[in-house]
Amino acid sequence: MAANEISQVCYNHPDKKADFKCFDCKLDSIINVCAQCNIQVHSLDVFRAHRVEQLVIKVDIS
């Protein structure tokens, strides 16, 4: 995996695909989380202000 490539696997569940990336959960990196983790973590008051974006998965159909 290239240094600037972000894993498409959930940070908490290695068997699940990541659907969101959070810029604030870890100080030194961006982490990816599945939809379940995103709801559970970012619905808590202390984490609501985190910057989260939905991942866009590029599909190569060549």
Q: Which pTM value belongs to this model?
A: 0.72
Q: Say how far apart CA 16 and CA 46 lie, in whole Å.
A: 25
Predicted local distance difference test score (pLDDT) of residue 6: 56
Predicted local distance difference test score (pLDDT) of residue 4: 42
pLDDT per residue, tens digit, the chain (62 aa), is 444 455 689 999 999 999 999 999 999 999 999 999 999 999 999 899 999 999 876 666 76
For the beta sheet containing 20-26, the strands, ordered from the edge strand earlier in sequence to the opposite edge, are 29-33, 20-26, 52-54
